[in-house]
Amino acid sequence: MKFTDEDKKNLLQTGNLGRVVSAEYKQGEHTPVFVSLDKLTNELVALRADKLKIPDTIKGVTLDDKQKQALSEGKSVLVEGMTSKNGKEFSANVQVNADKKGIEFQFDNGKKQEQNQQKTQRPLESEGFRIPAKLGGVELTEKQQNDLKADKTIYVSGLKDKQGQEYNAYVKVNHEQGKLDFFKWNPDKAKKVTPDNDSKTQVAVNSEGKTNEATKKVDEPLKKGQTQPTEKQEAKQEKKEANSTKQETDKPKKSKGHKM
């Protein structure tokens, strides 16, 4: 799959290719797919076009045939008069995102800056969202809280996942969904960044219950930056498997009776 300069520009600016391309999953079989960037790994993600149904309505607005056709082709479409969860009306460009397996909202820089200025002029509480003083077990400084209120991205070290293990992340307010978004690279910088794959593996295993070939037999939470089991963990697992095998071997065998 070859990308044009325009394709690369779209991927950097929006995270989406902006068109449907043909991918060869099996030799000789070409399948139309949407292509986007994974925000955590910066890797390309493909979604088969026939696996996604373009919705008839988005946030209360009924799409016309022209808008639906453009979305099915991977293009960005302006939708006006949508209603957010807190009842506020807003307009934005929408586009298929292969990584999210659905439709995402986008704002151009000019409109986004104008919206951000409006938001910083009123408390976030008016939108039904409050900046926390503590996040993932980490006390946020006054500057970090103020930066979030000003719609800036902050970097937080030592956050803890659901297993109590530490990881680092960039944090930014998501006004449309009324929550904080976490990133492994700075979302404000439209350039390729080497991802923190160590933290990604840790969070995937500890918080999302995922495994890979190296960690599938480890029944303990991974430490910060850990992607492979330690020698101690391997030894513990081998001992556990050996004991399990021994117990099976030591079980008394049932005697077979003789037929009369």
Between strands 21-26 and 57-58, the pairing is unpaired
CA 116, CA 147: separation in Å to the nearest integer?
12
* Residues 67, 134 share a domain: no
| Residues 9 and 80 both lie in one domain | yes
The two three-digit tokens of residue 137, written as one number: 């077990």
Tens digit of each residue's pLDDT (9 = 90 or more) over 72-109: 999 999 999 999 888 889 999 999 999 999 999 987 64
Residues 53 and 135 in one domain: no
User: pLDDT tens across 19-71, in order?
Assistant: 999 988 777 788 999 999 887 788 899 999 999 999 999 999 999 999 999 99
* Short-list 151, 148, 121, 150, CA closest to 135: 148
Q: Would residue 61 count as lying in a domain?
A: yes
pLDDT reported for residue 218: 55
Domain co-membership, 98 together with 128:
no
Report the alpha-carbon distance of residue 190 to residue 24 in Å, rounded: 29
Looking at the structure, tell me whether residues 85 and 129 fall in a common domain.
no
Is 260's pLDDT higher than 50?
A: no
Does residue 129 share a domain with residue 94? no
pLDDT tens per residue, range 107-118: 764 444 444 444
Domain assignment of residue 72, yes or no? yes
The answer to whether position 40 is within a domain reads yes
User: Is pLDDT above 70 for 229?
Assistant: no
- Residues above pLDDT 90, as percent of the chain: 34
- Looking at 75, 107, 139, the residue that finishes a domain is 107
Phi, psi torsion values for 168, nearest 5 degrees: -115, 150
Highest mean pLDDT of the ranges 172-181, 205-214, 226-235: 172-181
* 64: nearest Cα among 21, 52, 72: 72
Q: What is the pLDDT of residues 145-170, one digit of tens each?
A: 999 988 899 999 999 888 888 889 99
Owning domain of residue 177: 124-230
Residues 68 and 130 in one domain: no
Please name the helix (run of DSSP H) or strand (run of DSSP E) that holds residue 91, with its range, or none. Answer: strand 89-97
Residue 233 CA to residue 230 CA, distance in Å, equals 5
Q: Is the domain of 175 the same as that of 209? A: yes
The closest alpha carbon to 201, from 186, 212, 216, belongs to 212
Helical spans, DSSP H, in 46-196 = 65-72, 109-120, 142-149
What pLDDT was estimated at residue 109? Answer: 46
Q: Given this model, what pLDDT does residue 78 score? A: 94
Sheet (strand 179-183) strand order:
154-160, 166-174, 179-183
- Confidence (pLDDT) at 231: 64
Structural domains in the chain (count) = 2
Does the pLDDT value for residue 196 go beyond 50? no
pLDDT in the model for residue 13: 87
The answer to whether residue 249 is domain-embedded is: no
Domain boundary among 56, 80, 107: 107
Residues 103 and 4 grouped into a single domain:
yes
3-class secondary-structure state, position 199: helix
**8 and 40 within one domain:** yes
pLDDT in tens, 133-150: 899 889 999 999 999 988
How big is the chain, counted in residues? 260
- By percentage, how much of the chain surpasses pLDDT 70? 64
Q: Is the dihedral of CA 91, 92, 98, 100 positive or negative?
A: negative
Same structural domain, 7 and 102: yes
Dist CA 53 CA 117 (whole Å): 35
Within a domain: 117: no
How far apart CA 199 and CA 167 sit, in angstroms, is 6
Rounded (5°) CA angle 227-192-91: 110
Final residue in a domain of this structure, among 80, 107, 134: 107
Do both 98 and 2 map to the same domain?
Answer: yes
pTM: 0.45
Has residue 133 been placed in a domain? yes
188-194: average pLDDT: 52
